[in-house]
Amino acid sequence: MPESHHPPSDPYGIIRDLPLWTGEIEITPLSGGITNHNFLVSDSRRRVVVRLGGDIPVHQIMRFNEHAASKAAAAAGISPAVIHAVPGVLVIDYIESTTLDSPGVRRNRDRCVALVKRAHREIQERLRGPILSFNVFHILRDYRHTLVAGKSRMLAQLPGIAERAQTLERLVGPIDLVFGHNDLLPGNFLDDGSRLWLVDWDYAGFNTPLFDLGGLSSNNGFDDADDLLMLEDYFEAPLTEALFIRYHAMRCASLLREAVWSMVSELHSTLNFDYVAYTAENMARFERAWTRLQELTRS
């Protein structure tokens, strides 16, 4: 299977050849995937989601890791059951549900935080085999090398990005490790009417909980009041000034990583997606978060 940035030449053929089906199958493409190609497949027994995508080393996505995380998350009751997993192909149970948007995540903030907290505590107990880490500051350094090698249009901005990343790493300081999702976009939360599910474990790995919390906030438009309640719910204690600054530094780092991820995708992705606009959007969001962090550290 080629890298998921390069669509498989015959996805329908790959799906039809899977040893899973009873009778005729119906294949419907699903929208929204940037690092996978997703399909809803129905046969005479059930409906499943088929995710097609190879390793993407430039983004540190390795499918063995995604498959292990998906199986452990399913065993913990956090993600749908894994039906089939081979290199380049992941088949999971289809959940009749509504995909949340950012306002939906904000309305369900308490439920989302509780699910993320469960993921951090319970998935690692069920993991098997080699598992990756997700160190945002290593990723930013690696991305910088990739952008230099690819002669990115953003070369002039890279020294400033590196300097800010160093400042953020210093402000975050020592970290605790949990098993993180590391991509808490609103579309990765599903609501089946009675409970929430968390899906898409492409970037999963051991990380500080502050990264997921920062991503949950920045990807879903949380304000300071939301952040305060989220952090107190998660840590089950009153928020200290020191933790709030460390959290905001990691929130900035999560936004910077999203922007630099997009810069790298400008060079390496063949998907029909406006990465230049996405880079600009996330750099603007990062600048706003950086300004807020400066206010906190000066006060």
**pLDDT tens digit sequence for 22-69:** 999 999 999 766 677 899 999 999 999 999 989 999 999 999 999 999
Model pTM above 0.85: yes
Do 92 and 26 meet the contact criterion of CB atoms below 8 Å apart? Answer: no
Looking at residue 59, the DSSP 8-state letter turns out to be G
Q: What is the mean pLDDT of residues 174-182?
A: 96
Q: Does residue 272 carry a pLDDT above 90?
A: no
Report the top-level CATH class of 99-298: alpha beta
Do 221 and 102 meet the contact criterion of CB atoms below 8 Å apart? Answer: yes
At residue 252, the pLDDT reads: 97
Q: Does residue 1 carry a pLDDT above 80?
A: no
Report the top-level CATH class of 11-96: alpha beta
CA distance 93 to 229: 33
Phi-psi region of 221 (alpha: psi -120 to 50; beta: other; left: phi over 0): left
Beta bridge partners of 86: 89
Distances (CA, A) of 46 to 33, 120, 149, 152: 22, 30, 47, 46
Give the residue range(s) of CATH 3.90.1200.10 domains in the chain: 99-298
Q: Count CB neighbours of 273 within 10 A.
A: 14
CA distance 84 to 155: 42
